[in-house]
A = this chain, B = another copy of it.
C-alpha cells in the first residue's frame, strides 16, 4: 500500500510537454532548471512516500476526532505536519517577499500531485492554507500581509476558506453571515459556516479563517458579499498570539471518505462576535473568491490525478502478486492475474488516462505561469484564455476519471477490494468528494459552455482545436505505428469542433437544451485534450527513439498513447451525438412523471 512518486513521467511531462525550459525563462523563475526541479521532485517524493503515505490508511481508520469544540488529528499527523513545514513544503510557490520560494506553478503542481497521492486527507490542510495565502497576497492590506503571510507561508499557521452555509450550498448569493463594523477598523462576524475543511485541528498554533459575510448596508445577492480575515487566536501588536477569537468548531461531519480531514461546522460570533478585518474592498468578496477559485479548482482536479496514480500503483502491485486462474490461452499452472487480458485492459485504462491527465494538468499549470509572468501582454492574455477554458476541464474531467480509475482499482482486487483492510476501497471513498467540492462537475461544465465558450463565441476553443489539428498533422508524418491514434484523435477533434460550434451557436436561443450537454461536453473535451497530450507525448518519444535513445520508457509511452487512441478516444463521437442531439429528450417529461 505504499506510494512511489512517478518522478520519471513527471519530468518527461514537465520537460517535453509543459515547456519547463520556457517557464524557466520567465522573469523570476530563472532558478527552475531541470536539474533543480528534478532534485525537488526527488526530495518531495521521499517525503510523500516515506512520511505521508504510511499515514494514509491509519488516518482513514482513526479519523479526525471532535471533542468539546476541538479536533484531534489521527496519530502521526501533527508530527508529519511539523516535518512538512520544517521541510519548507508550505512555501513552495508563495511570494518570496514573505518567505516563499517563488517556484513556478508547474513545479509546485507536480509536488502537490505527490502530497495528494500520498495522503489526500493530509494534503487538504496545505491546500486550503495556500488558497488563503493567495487571497491575502492578492487582496490583503500591507498590514494584513505582514500580520499573516510570514506565519502562513512558513506553515506555522494554517488557513481556511469559509464560504458555504447550510441554506447556501454552492449558491453564494444566499449567504447570510453578518459583519458588523466596530468603528475601530474591525468587524464582529456572526453566522454559521459548513463544510469547512480543517476549520479546526491541532497541527498548528493558529488558524486563519477567510470568511464571506455581509455588511449591514450590503446589497442583496452576490454583489453584497465581503471577505474578512478572522483568526482563531487574535494577534497582538507584537505579532504574538492573543485572545481566543469567537470562532468555534461546533461539530465535524461523518463522511464517506477523507476521514482524517476534519470537515467542520464553524460557528462565528455565538459568544459576542468573532473579530475580523475586511480584506480588500467592501462587497467585492465574490470577485476575490473567483480569483482563488481557479487555483482551488485546479488543485482539486489534481486530486483526481493523484488518487488515480495511487490506485494504479496499488492495483498493479496486487495484479503482479496475486496468482489465480489459468491463462485464457491455456497454461500449465495458475498465473498472476496481470496476465489476464481484462486485468491488462483495466491497468492500461488506468495508466493511459493517468498519463494523459498528468500531461494536461501540467500544461495548464505552465500556461498559468506564462499568464502571470510572461513579459509580453499578448502572451499573457493568450495563456490566460487557455487556462480559463481548461480549468473546468481539469477540475471536472480529472476528478470524474479519477473516480472511474479508483473504481477499477477496487475491481482488479476482486473480493479483496471490498475489504477495507486492503486499502483499495479508501481511494474510491476519498475520490468521491472530488467531483463535488469546489463546484460540482455540473457547475464546472456550465462554466465551460457558458462563460468560457458561448460568451466569446467559441474563440479560444477554436484556437485550441487549431493546436490539436497541428498535432494531427504531425502524426500524419509519423507513419503506420501512429496511424490508428491519428485517426481516432482526428475523429475526436472533429467531435469537439462540432459540439463546440453547436454550443456557441445555440446557447443564447436554447440554453436549457444546450446545458443538458454540458457535462458530456466537458468529458468530451477532457478525453480529446488527453488524446492530444498523449499524441504529443508519442511524437516526442518516437523522436527520442529515432535519435537512438534505448530507454524502454519511450516505446512504452508510444504504446500507451496508441492504447489511448484505441480505447479512450472512440467514446468521443458518441458524446458529440449526445450533446448535439440529446437536449430536448432530457427535458421532455413533466416533472411529476420523473
A513 to B563, CA, bound (A): 13
Enumerate chain B residues within 8 angstroms of A515, measured Cβ to Cβ.
Answer: 328, 340-342
Q: Is the CB of B582 within 8 A of A567?
A: yes
The interface stretch among A106-114, A116-124, A385-393, A418-426 is: A418-426
- Does A39 touch B at the CB level, under 8 Å? no
Q: Is A164's beta carbon under 8 Å from chain B?
A: yes
How far apart are A96's CB and chain B's nearest CB, in angstroms?
Answer: 36
User: In chain B, what residue has the closest Cβ to A168?
Assistant: B324
Does A535 sit at the interface, judged by CB under 8 A? Answer: no
Which A137-179 residues have a C-beta within 8 angstroms of B?
A: 164, 168-171, 173-174
User: Which residue in B169, B253, B589 is a CB contact (below 8 Å) of A556?
Assistant: B589
Cross-chain contact B169 with A324 (CB below 8 angstroms): yes
Question: Could you tell me which residues of chain A, from 166 to 196, have a CB within 8 Å of some CB in chain B?
Answer: 168-171, 173-174, 195
* Interface hub of A329, A559, A574, A581 (most chain B Cβ within 10 A): A574
Interface residues in A438-479 by Cβ distance below 8 A to B read 440-442, 445-446, 450
Which residues does chain B contribute within 8 Å of A27, judged by CB atoms? none
Scoring A residues 530 to 554 as 1 if CB is less than 8 Å from chain B, else 0, what string do you get?
Answer: 0000000000000000000000110
Is the C-beta of A216 less than 8 angstroms from some C-beta in chain B? Answer: no
Label chain A's interface by main secondary structure.
helix
User: Per a CB cutoff under 8 Å, which of B341, B433, B446, B590 touches A586?
Assistant: B341
Q: A441 and B411 in contact (CB under 8 A), knowing A328-B512, A566-B578?
A: yes
Contact A518 B410 (CB under 8 A): no
Name the contact of A411 in the complex, choosing from B324, B428, B436, B488 (C-beta under 8 A): B436
Among residues 567 to 594 in chain A, which have CB atoms less than 8 Å away from a CB atom of chain B? 567, 570-575, 577-578, 581-582, 585-594
Q: Which B residues lie within 8 Å of A345 (CB)?
A: 516, 519, 582, 586
Binds B, one of A226-234, A254-262, A274-282: A254-262
Query: For the side of the interface on A, what is the size category?
Result: 35 or more
- Residue in B328, B340, B511, B570 whose CB lies within 8 Å of A578: B570
Task: Identify 25 residue pairs between A and B in the complex whose beta-carbon atoms are under 8 Å apart, listed by A's number.
Answer: A168-B324, A169-B415, A170-B325, A171-B324, A328-B450, A341-B513, A341-B515, A345-B586, A346-B442, A410-B436, A411-B435, A411-B441, A414-B436, A556-B589, A559-B588, A563-B582, A563-B586, A566-B578, A566-B582, A566-B586, A567-B582, A567-B586, A570-B573, A570-B574, A572-B574
Query: What is the interface of chain A, defined by CB distance below 8 A to chain B?
Result: 164, 168-171, 173-174, 195, 253-257, 316, 320, 322, 324-326, 328-329, 334, 338, 340-348, 351, 403, 407, 410-411, 414-415, 417-421, 425, 428-429, 432-433, 435-437, 440-442, 445-446, 450, 484, 488, 511-513, 515-516, 518-519, 552-553, 555-556, 559-560, 562-563, 565-567, 570-575, 577-578, 581-582, 585-594
